[in-house]
Structure 1
Amino acid sequence: MQARTSGTDLVDALIDGVHIGDNLVLQGDDAAPLDLLVERFVAATRGRVPLVLVNVSRPWQGPVPPDTRVLDWSAVGSDSPPTLDDALPPGADFGAAMAMLEAADDRVGEGAAFVIDDLDGVQRTWGPGAALELFLSTCPRLYRRRSLAVWPLHTGAHRPAFLRRLTEITQVVVDFTTDAESSLVTVRKADGRGEQVVGRRVRAVVVDGDLAAVDSPRNTGELLGTVIRDQRLARGLSQAEVARRVGITPSALSQVERGVRGPGGDTLVRLWEVLGVPFGPGERPEAGYRIARRSGRDRTRLQDGLTGECLLDDPVAGEVWALDLAGGASGSHGPFAVKRPESVLVLRGVVDLQLDGRTETLHEGDALVAETASVRGWSNPGAETARLLWSIHRP
């Protein structure tokens, strides 16, 4: 069963739940409770799905838990002899690390859980280019595999451009800013959720090995400050640079972002201009495109041996489904009871379709458009699962 939790109820609630395929970037300052968050994720996941731990910063201590695969890369940076079987030797290059991770992903298969601990260590060992390449390669791969991954990192160890690129690619970013007494937890990105999720924030403390909310700061000044900070970070701009363009001091901008004081009207207008945020009356212009995010989608059992995932349900384009036909399976009617034109593209395998008294055999790469004919049945003559892209067009 897919583990759909970060291991921390407070985080789950802030992001409106964990979705299949999520890559969760948990970023914070040096005092942020990132180790605690990783421990809770591992405890909640272990035994439910295959678990892969990429160990980077410190030599692995103790036995490997059951149902867990540890990839130990720590010897590369420390020059200490590795103690685990799945370990890189001192001096190993980054290509060897990537090959080990990809092989582990192939072994555990779809729907696993990963902890990449951590990008800070990867950067110290192989450089910032390697840390970015690891994320650019692995995040989309695990997303396609419907696996769940947690990526802890310390924001102070990375350049703003690096953090911006991670935010662009991943599905979820949760930020932890700590002081002497508590952490301010803020959602920076949450694909597949409602617009109201981004910008949510709550102050939390560690109680009995878990995060507990101590308040819910939602006043206007704090919410506005969060929006301004998020827009600045999304563009890779420093506080000093934005303050210079707006005509205020960096200290004043810091107070605005923290909700300590609100900006004056002229300052707010200048902020929106510098950050490129539309401001003023009237409706926001249409972007000219729409995105259907994969986050939150589930596979649906349509018939025996036939499962599907709705990729798109759009008033203009219609419905687009990814269908999996089990080897040797067949059905006595079409996947969908509709009276609209349908088109089929075979992505993998072979499929037989019955259309009004005729059987058409489609191979990988073949496509069919049924404008007036109806699909009366289907079968997969092969032993392996066939995959189709099935579109139901609007009239």
Structure 2
Amino acid sequence: MERSETVVTINGEEQRPAGRKAPRVVAREGSAQDLWLGQQIRALRRAQKLSLAQLAERSDLSIGNLSQIERGVRSPSVRSLQRLSECLKVPIADLFQTRALPPAAELGTILRRKARPTLNLSKHGCHKELLTPMMPGTLQLLLVTLDPGGTSGAEHYVHKGEEAGVVIAGAMKLWIEDQAYILKEGDSFRFKSTRRHRFESASKQTTRVIWAITPPIY
């Protein structure tokens, strides 16, 4: 377990003089930066179906430390971010997807376009932008962008809840169980997420889908 490390905040990284241990500096409790980062780490953990204890064990952090990071009351160190990014299988840069931080008063209610968290599944040509704030709620709205040939993966998957959406550009092939549907611009869908499903691009152009999920999984 880590004891004393140079602490990084979203606004920058502490510099440690050679041969000297820097004092630990923690961002003020509940800062918008720490809340935002903690929400992204929590969302990535839940999307990969990891419990708090499992991620803490894999990242060699204490459960209390990880819980404080996710709740935005503790600023993670560079080392902690490296461990978390490795365990969550995302580059550290993916934990800082926002280009503009929301005012504290807007957290959980408003999400500005420039502040959208983005999950890039580059290997599969699939990109998901969260359109709803990453705070506790019962509904999640995403903008799913598929490159030509992009896909959610070769295998069907299931989870609890229900989802619906509308294709706003391009075309998508959607499998629900063993039935495949071609959805073009303006076509919409809804199905129980407990039914096996997957999707892929069906266009030579970029495909975009507004996708709603309840309860949230990201």
TM-score normalized by the length of structure 2: 0.46
Q: Which has the higher contact order (CA 8 A, sep 6+)?
A: 2
TM-score normalized by the length of structure 1: 0.27
